[in-house]
Amino acid sequence: MDLKKQVDVLIIGAGPSGTVAAGILHKAGLGVQIVEKMRFPRFVIGESLLPRCMEALDEAGLLKAVEAHGFQQKTGAKFVWGDRVCDFKFSNQYTPGWQYAYQVTRADFDKTLADTCLEMGIPIHFETEVTGVTVREDGSSLTTVKKSDGSTEIIEARFIIDGSGYGRVLPTLFGLNRPSTQHTRRTLFAHMKDPFRQEADEPDRITIYVHDPKTWVWVIPFATGITSLGYVGSPDFFEKYSGNSAQQFKAMVYDEPKLKERFRHFEMIWEEPRLLQGWSATTEKFYGKGFVLTGNVTEFLDPVFSSGVTLATVSAQAAAHLVIRHLKGEQVDWQSEYMEYMQTGVDVFRTFVDAWYDGTLYKIFFADEREEDLLNKICSVLAGYVWDESNPFVKKSEKSVKALANYLSRNVVE
């Protein structure tokens, strides 16, 4: 397939945000082209999805292929601290919506999305990296891409969607990157053989273990029998462990009694665990003349509530609708209709992320008393329904979280 030199919308990146935007724009009859730096399948982190992203995948025409793939269904999220367990089931959530999502190996998930786009007739050029963009006065643009043979081409587009994830293409080119409000955190993680998973748990939801008040562990079982296991904490935590990364990881896993039991054979399917650090990032503006940013390029906070792919697909969905209107010549207020809308959802997650790390949420999740009605409202946030203003944990998230934590810990002397 030849690279098109002129398109209505050029999309940077074939991750979930790029492919969802492409599907919606293509269905609206616009000429779309995706350029993707890597060859697929490629690894990326972000394996636990939330129910809200199913709506975006569906609208983009991508859901059937995802459902057909046979990924592990995810029906909730379980939080464990010592012997205390808080098990959220999406079927109990307050906001009407999807009651499950999936636990996915991202290489396979993202390839499924990309293949489906290709089947729909959307061109995707892999190993094609955006290296420069010039936006003209009228909002149309010239994008320079570098191909795998080192040659460059120019693509003219009426509009650009930047879904480049950790690549942060347009914020970097246009100087829009801003420091995050989050502390720098690190993860060490691996894909593991998990022959004893049935002894420990059912595989139909993820488990988050509180290792210590600032360090947690994800356990994400896949349909293949392999499980993703990752420690997340401040860099200091990891410095305590010596040896090579595999030895460090094994020692950490064995420091958590339930994980030591479950992963007693400790067999990684990778040669060594992978390390990531300092992923939180934000951007001054999520839009500009002739372009909009979607997914991780906007703001990424923290993985504890698995919000990344959901915010990526929901932002792509919202941006695609606005691009369609804009290219029809309609007036779009990008600030209120896009940036503030997305920021509302991100801010609800920010409240929860901050309340997780400062311990406020533990007082709710691991309280002796359970306020089921309120937990079901929190469950909707954890399902990604962070725009439902009838939910007090959305509308006044900070106040509601603090009030409930105070109420539940009223008899606890600290």
Ligand X SMILES: Cc1cc2nc3c(=O)[nH]c(=O)nc-3n(C[C@H](O)[C@H](O)[C@H](O)COP(=O)(O)OP(=O)(O)OC[C@H]3O[C@@H](n4cnc5c(N)ncnc54)[C@H](O)[C@@H]3O)c2cc1C
Q: H-helix or E-strand containing 372?
A: helix 372-382
One residue of 7, 15, 86, 249 binding ligand X per CB under 6 A: 15
* List 9, 11, 24, 44, residue binding ligand X (CB under 6 A): 44
The stretch among 9-17, 24-32, 242-250, 264-272 that binds ligand X (CB under 6 A) is 9-17
Neighbouring CB atoms inside 10 A of 148's CB total 12
Task: Give the DSSP letter of residue 91.
Answer: G
Q: How far apart are CB 403 and ligand X at their closest, in Å?
A: 28
Residue 36 Cβ vs ligand X, minimum distance, rounded to whole Å: 5
Q: For ligand X, which stretch binds (CB under 6 A), given 35-43, 238-246, 359-367, 400-408?
A: 35-43
Q: Which of residues 53-112 bind ligand X (CB under 6 A)?
A: none
Q: Which conformational region is residue 29 in: left (phi greater than 0), alpha (psi within -120 to 50 degrees), or beta?
A: left
Site membership for ligand X, residue 308 (CB under 6 A): yes
> Which residue number, 15 or 203, has a Cβ lying nearer to ligand X?
15
60: nearest Cα among 30, 33, 22: 22
If binding is defined by CB under 6 A, does position 237 make contact with ligand X? no
Question: CB of 208: closest distance to ligand X in angstroms?
Answer: 10
C-alpha distances out from residue 24 to 8, 84, 208, Å:
13, 43, 34
Kindly list the distances between the CA atom of residue 243 and the CA atoms of 92, 187, 231, 253, in Å, as whole numbers in the listed order.
45, 17, 17, 14
**Does position 171 bind ligand X by CB under 6 A?**
no
Q: Which stretch binds ligand X (CB under 6 A): 56-64, 72-80, 81-89, 163-171?
A: 163-171
Residue count at the site for ligand X (CB under 6 A)? 37
Residue 232 Cβ vs ligand X, minimum distance, rounded to whole Å = 6
- For ligand X, the closer of residues 37 and 363 by Cβ is 37
Give bridge partners of residue 282 from the DSSP assignment. Answer: 178
Tell me the C-alpha distance between 214 and 211, whole Å: 8
Residue with tokens 């896993």: 253
For 338, the token pair is: 């896009």
Nearest approach, Cβ of residue 371 and ligand X (Å) = 27
Q: Report in angstroms how near the CB of residue 296 gets to ligand X at its nearest.
A: 4
Contact predicate 42/339, CB 8 Å:
no
Q: Which 260-299 positions form the footprint of ligand X (CB under 6 A)?
A: 276, 279, 295-296
* HEC profile of 224-284: CCEEEEEEEECHHHHHCCCCCHHHHHHHHHHCCHHHHHHCCCCCECCCCCEEEECCCEEEC
| Cβ at position 42, least distance to ligand X in Å | 6
- Under rule CB under 6 A, residue 383 binds ligand X: no
Q: How far is CA 181 from CA 53, 68, 113, 281, 351, in A?
A: 25, 39, 32, 8, 12
Instruction: Check if the beta carbon of residue 250 is closer than 8 Å to that of residue 231.
Output: no
For residue 223, state whether it binds ligand X (rule: CB under 6 A).
Answer: no
DSSP H helices, 74-196, are 106-120, 169-173
Tell me how far, at minimum, the Cβ of 277 lies from ligand X, in Å: 9
Q: How far is the CB of 414 from ligand X (least distance, A)?
A: 31
- The region of 42-50, 284-292, 331-339, 355-363 touching ligand X under the rule CB under 6 A is 42-50
Which one of 164, 215, 227, 400 is in contact with ligand X (CB under 6 A)? 164
**Residue ranges that bind ligand X, judged by CB under 6 A:** 12-18, 35-38, 44-49, 129-130, 163-167, 169, 187, 276, 279, 295-296, 300, 303, 306, 308-310, 312
